[in-house]
Amino acid sequence: MGKGNWFLSIIEKNKGVLVMIFVQLVYSGMALFSKAAISKGMNPYVFVAYRQAFATLALAPFAFFLDRKKSDLLSYSLIGKIFLASLFGITLSLNLYAYAINYVSATFASASNNTIPALTFLIAVAFRIESFSIRNSPGIVKLVGSVVSLSGAMVFAFVKGPRVNFMNWHTGTDENQLKTNPVINFSSKEKWIQGCLLMLSANTAWASWLVIQAPLVKQYRAKFRLTMLQCLFSCIQSSVWAMSMNRDLSSWKLNWDLNLFSVAYCGVVVTGITYWLQLWAVESKGPLFVAIFSPLTLIFTAIISAFLWKETLYLGSVCGGILLVGGLYCVLWGKNKEAQKQANQEQTQPQNFAKEETIV
């Protein structure tokens, strides 16, 4: 076997892992580019409106070509549900995220995303979409993991501790030079707390949107078309909100600069390409395989921020990140055990039916 064939065989065997690493790099880029564009003056609400416009355009070909054979009809009631799901899920979440990221670091934005599985679990339990029992270990572990994950986010946000001198960069760096860096954006303590709370609120809205998707997909099976419609409604809603909050038309002007690249990246790459890759990974490897790579976004964002912008890391942030990741894996472990138990029960049921028929 030649070297080229050997290399291709390794890629073929590990393409699922490589795809998910690429996806997490894309998500870390979303936090970094969003932070950079908004910190350098782009209106956050205009950013979301443009992002959703690019997302709609990116998803339109998939919705047309891949879902054209699915003849699901759109009733007025279903359109209303999709509109409300877009409003209280995507639009609210993205606008809160875009506003909050001006006051927090890109690393915290990536770290807080690890609370979404725990928040989704708690919301699903509250609405009785998902159940758990404290009488078995998976249920207890999921509950404990949710609490630990949310506690880690709080520690990351509000506990600093001593500075971690990553590669000794900060020892020789002028503090005034760091403060003038618009990407690092040294916010006041009040603005930092406000930004952290808004970021967690954005994740709560997104987790609620994930819970809402389950009944929507049952009513409308064309997934790409459903996602495109929600992005389209979100684009319209975000545009109305941006125009009502900012009447300056010059803020809508896009030049060939970082702002244009950031909104195109978040719309086309994050929403369009990444959605397709994750859908492929879920279908071929399962949802748990996709979820276990989520903490890589935090790691990639922290490393890139430290290299590019000399972002300061504190011991509290490191401990909070460990709690976040630990809580996430506890929730995933509990979900995996429950899924295995349910699968075993489904396998034994046909055997029991066969025995009963034989006896009869």
Q: Is the pLDDT of residue 106 over 60?
A: yes
17-74 pLDDT tens trace: 888 889 889 989 998 999 889 988 899 999 999 999 999 999 998 888 888 777 677 8
218-268 pLDDT tens trace: 888 888 888 899 999 999 999 999 999 988 888 898 888 899 999 999 999
Task: Give the pLDDT mean for 80-103.
Answer: 92
| C-alpha separations of 304 from 2, 106, 196, 308, 312 in Å | 36, 10, 21, 6, 12
Residue 350: the pLDDT is 57
Extents of the domains making up the chain? 21-359
**Segment 128-132 long-range contacts (CB within 8 Å, at least 24 positions apart):** 129/211, 129/214, 132/334, 132/338
172-225 pLDDT tens trace: 444 454 444 545 444 567 888 888 899 999 999 988 888 888 788 888 888 888
Residue 232: the pLDDT is 94
Q: Is the pLDDT of residue 3 over 70?
A: no
Nearest to 106 by CA among 329, 308, 327, 320: 308
Average pLDDT, whole number, for the chain? 81
Q: Which residue has the tokens 């999921």?
A: 142
**Contact indicator for 152, 203 with CB cutoff of 8 Å:** no
Stretch among 7-11, 81-85, 140-144 having the lowest mean pLDDT: 7-11
Output DSSP code: residue 292. T
120-172 pLDDT tens trace: 888 887 877 776 667 778 888 888 888 888 888 888 877 877 877 655 554 44
Single pTM value for the model: 0.80
First to last CA, the chain: 59
Containing 164, the helix (H) or strand (E) segment is: strand 163-164
Nearest to 305 by CA among 39, 74, 42: 39
